[in-house]
Amino acid sequence: MTTVIDVEDVSKQFKIHHERNQSLKERLLHPKAGSTELFNALKDISFSVSSDETVGILGHNGSGKSTLLKCICGVLQPTSGQIRLRGNLAALLELGAGFQTELSGRDNVYLYGAMLGLSKRSVDAIFDDIVAFSEIEHFIDTQVKFYSSGMYVRLAFAVAVNVDPDILVVDEVLAVGDERFQAKCVDRIRTFQEEGRSILLVTHQADQVRALCDRAIVLDGGLMIANGPVQESLRIFREHLLEDAVEHDRAGHQAEVAIDSVTTPSGSFDVRSGASIHFDVHISSHTAYSGNFVMELFTRSGMLVSRSDAQGSPVNLKPGANQVGVDLPNLPLLDGVYDVNVGVVDYHGTVIAWKEQAASIQVTYAGREGGIVELGASIQQL
């Protein structure tokens, strides 16, 4: 296993201009005016990524995740520290950023390829694949300025994923395009994983990390607050989001609510398919609070099985210890381990308390159906 990305004590500072002084006249007339402030976008970040690993970078807006990504891609230079890269890297930072709208699709493929570090001959070799993937055969010789935004994005994505990168860096691009295109992107990423390439995926969607990554890094305010298994990092990410929210609302009148534990009467979380299971969720609250109770159920591979929505079931918490009972009758799940996340949200859907992986239920199934859900299909020839 080779280390392909090695980030060593990387910090990045930005100058924030309070008054922009971008003309010569202004600079000459007011040499001192225009205060600047230093902003630490990243502070001493260190981690490494090995080949055939998919790592997710999580963080909310302003946490520094895009800055980190740009440093890794070499678009930005870190203020201190260094990043060592092995193998060639293709970045999907903003699809089509390198396009010249005056040129035809064909010319742009060559130009974009050159920007990603390919020679003309290597672009020749993959040109047909690119065009086929982008599905714009008829328009390849049309100027890009006449493309629809969908065609534009498809062409850019097609170039980036066909350049045979050793490291693929993806920044929230999976959020663009229609559903079919998104599925195509995710498919392509899975193929890359199977081929043993490294992928760095930046997102604020926990579900995507759960579904695609082997490991996750959480950034908050420029600091790395987690670097470990997906489940663990997601727990920290969610709980951190919550802490921030509580800090925000401290001035207000928010009740301090915490989820203490989830238990079953028997103490066991093992259940047979089709049987019922009952949990008790222990919630402590400092004040009386009314909100909604939310529960999520995930497979171990990160697929969401079920989520009761934010307008879920109302609960009225009293000061002190509270208990909420959850009944899952005739559990229609097949063999496997399922993680349960529980939480309390207010009436607007803002999370008040959350516990990630509060319990794991082990389902055993004796039948021969495969998958997640027991449909109990009966098949007869008519």
Q: In the complex, which residues of this chain contact another protein (CB under 8 A)?
A: 2, 4, 14-17, 22-25, 27, 51-52, 70-88, 91, 93-94, 97-98, 100, 102-103, 107, 110-111, 114-120, 143, 166, 195-197
In the complex with another protein, which residue's Cβ is closer, 15 or 253? 15
Of residues 10 and 281, the one with the C-beta less far from another protein: 10
- Residues in the chain, total: 382
Contact predicate 222/65, CB 8 Å: no
Q: Which is nearer to another protein, 154 or 197 (CB)?
A: 197
Rounded CA separation 36/19 (Å): 8
Q: Which is nearer to another protein, 115 or 373 (CB)?
A: 115
Decide: 144 and 100 in contact? Cβ < 8 Å: yes
Nearest to another protein of 118, 257 (CB atom): 118
Beta carbon of residue 32, minimum distance to another protein (angstroms, whole number)? 16
Minimum separation from the CB atom of position 214 to another protein (A): 16
Of 117 and 349, which CB lies nearer to another protein in the complex structure? 117
HEC states along 95-153? CCCCCCCCCEHHHHHHHHHHHCCCCHHHHHHHHHHHHHHHCCHHHCCCEHHHCCHHHHH
Q: Measured between alpha carbons, how far is 92 from 155 in angstroms, rounded to an integer? A: 12
Closest distance of CB 298 from another protein, Å: 29
Helix (H) or strand (E) holding 304: strand 304-307
Q: Which is nearer to another protein, 60 or 86 (CB)?
A: 86
Q: Which has the closest alpha carbon to 206: 356, 104, 92?
A: 356
Separation CA 1–CA 4 (nearest Å): 9
Q: How far is the CB of 35 from another protein (least distance, A)?
A: 14
Q: CA-CA distances (angstroms) from residue 84 to 11, 68, 135, 196? A: 14, 13, 36, 19
Identity of the residue, 97 or 303, whose beta carbon is nearer to another protein in the bound complex: 97
Minimum Å gap between C-beta 138 and another protein is 21
Smallest separation, CB 140 to another protein (Å): 16
Indicate the residue among 65 and 210 with the shorter CB distance to another protein. Answer: 65
Nearest to 109 by CA among 157, 76, 57, 166: 157
| Closest separation in Å from C-beta 77 to another protein | 6
What minimum distance in Å lies between the beta carbon of 79 and another protein? Answer: 6
Closest among 64, 86, 67 to 75, alpha carbons compared: 67
Distance CA(25)–CA(153), nearest Å, equals 41
Look at residues 324, 294, 314 and name the one whose alpha carbon lies nearest to residue 306.
Answer: 294
**Nearest distance from C-beta of residue 73 to another protein, angstroms:** 5
Beta-bridge mates of residue 297 = 306, 340
List the beta bridge partners of residue 272. Answer: 364
